[in-house]
Amino acid sequence: MDKQEFNEILDFAIAREQEAVEFYRHLQTMVKFTDQIQMLKELETMEMGHIVVIESIRKSGVKPEDIQRTPTLMISEYITADPETLDMTYQGILIKAMKREENSFKLYSEMSIKFPDAEISTLFRRLAADEAKHKLLFEKLFDDWMSTGN
């Protein structure tokens, strides 16, 4: 893989993260409660942090040992609700976020398989691993919320 291909992939990943930033910004205009706005601002900040991580990969590259294995609670996979139809309750926001991270994880995982170049595959596996971490965060928040009897 040449430098241009590597940078194009990183640009694609950054664009996806920027879409997520805009998604959470937009949701902030739709909610009514201060706690919901605050949570969405935190999610927006988290996505901006992903952009910083991707830029650091641009500078230092990626190695297979950089990829961490993340467990999954499989909550997102069992939720069949269409995220687009959910209201802006805490539960709805968590489901939207979980599904968004799940879809990003699937996209990067599939792309890691489709590209035979080892460096490109490693890059996509790293991006997928990061999305798995984010998905797990939302699954834990959802699980905690459900455990309180909601």
Give the residue among 92, 77, 107, 95 at the shortest CA–CA distance from 9: 107
Letter for the amino acid at 135? K
Given the candidates 1.20.1260.10, 1.20.1070.10, 3.10.105.10, 1.10.10.370, the CATH classification of the domain at 3-147 is: 1.20.1260.10
Chain length of the chain: 150
Number of H helices, E strands in the chain: 5, 0
**pLDDT exceeding 70 applies to what percent of the chain?**
99
pTM above the 0.75 mark? yes
Q: What is the domain partition of the chain in residue ranges?
A: 3-147
Q: Please report, for residues 16, 26, 103, 115, the alpha-carbon distance to residue 94 in angstroms, rounded to integers and kept in the order given.
A: 19, 15, 14, 32
Give 114's pLDDT tier (boundaries 50, 70, 90).
Answer: very high
